[in-house]
Amino acid sequence: MNTTYIYGLKEKKGEIRYIGKANDPKRRLRQHKSNARKEKSHKVSWIKYCQQNNIEIELVILEECDYNIWQEKEIYWISQFQNLTNHDKGGRGGKPEKYSFTYEETKKWIKINLPNINTSTKWENNSKFLPDFLRDGNSLHKIGYNFLNYEGAKEWCLNNKIKSNKIYKKMRPTNCPAHPEEFYKNSGWTNWSHFLYKKSPFLSYEEAKKWCLNNFIVNSRTYKLKKPINLPACPNKVYKNSGWTNWFEFLNV
């Protein structure tokens, strides 16, 4: 019989705050702690709180069970505790939650449950108090809000002469996301400089290579110290899809 474990996480002198399933619970605990640097959830907020306050997180094995029935066992154990950071009833195996709220349904929910959050500034300032499905950088997209695509948002920035991310966040319309670096990360995002101009403000890859040759740039440190404003600080990212191979090739035409 293949078995797995239903485990709980708790503060050393506190109650169980999270329940999960893992074939190797100790390894999974290490992953939870490591992933807390880049994830956002109620569980992660609790883990970060413990880490910042030097509170030890303990692992408790609740049950060893047949792998074929772990979903129902996880659901059962989650039902036995009240103050958990789990975002659902269990049995999903860490899959991201999908939401069925439409945009209008979500507006109604916010009006009833969060009546004092009525501006984008208040929304961002109180984001840590929002439920998980509204804290995600792409949450409005998931619930049906129609944001402009990447090129459309760039066009708006150009037409309105937006020159910095601070001005963008202050002036952006409701159909542009508050965090474009997150929302467009898989659909064109490179950096803020590229986003705020119709065309890239940087020289082309070949022009950048020629500048390096003419200015006797022999390593990445010298490049970053001497580069003009029309060359990117991270050419490996900006030229990723337009010729970049490595620093040696970039600095030797």
Q: Do 166 and 212 belong together in one domain?
A: no
Q: Do 17 and 75 belong together in one domain?
A: yes
Q: Do 68 and 27 belong together in one domain?
A: yes
Q: What is the pTM of this model?
A: 0.39
- State the Cα torsion 50-140-187-194 to the nearest 10°: -80
CB atoms within 10 A of CB 120: 13
- Tell whether 97 is covered by a domain: no
Q: Do 70 and 119 belong together in one domain?
A: no
Kind of pairing between the strands at 3-11 and 57-66:
antiparallel
> For the chain, what's the residue count?
253
Q: Do 10 and 66 belong together in one domain?
A: yes
- Tell whether 57 is covered by a domain: yes
Residue 73 structural domain:
3-79
Longest dimension (CA), the chain: 70
Q: Do 20 and 73 belong together in one domain?
A: yes
CB atoms within 10 A of CB 100: 7
Q: Do 132 and 175 belong together in one domain?
A: no
Per-residue pLDDT of the chain (253 residues), as tens digits, is 678 999 999 998 788 999 999 999 998 898 888 887 777 777 888 898 888 888 899 999 999 998 888 888 998 899 888 888 887 776 555 544 444 556 666 677 677 666 777 666 676 666 655 555 555 444 444 444 467 888 788 888 888 888 888 899 888 887 788 888 878 887 778 888 888 876 666 788 999 999 999 999 989 989 989 988 788 888 988 888 888 999 999 998 5
- Tell whether 111 is covered by a domain: yes
Convert 208-217 to b/e letters by CB count within 10 Å (16 or more is b).
bbebbeeeeb
- The structure tokens 């009525």 sit at 118
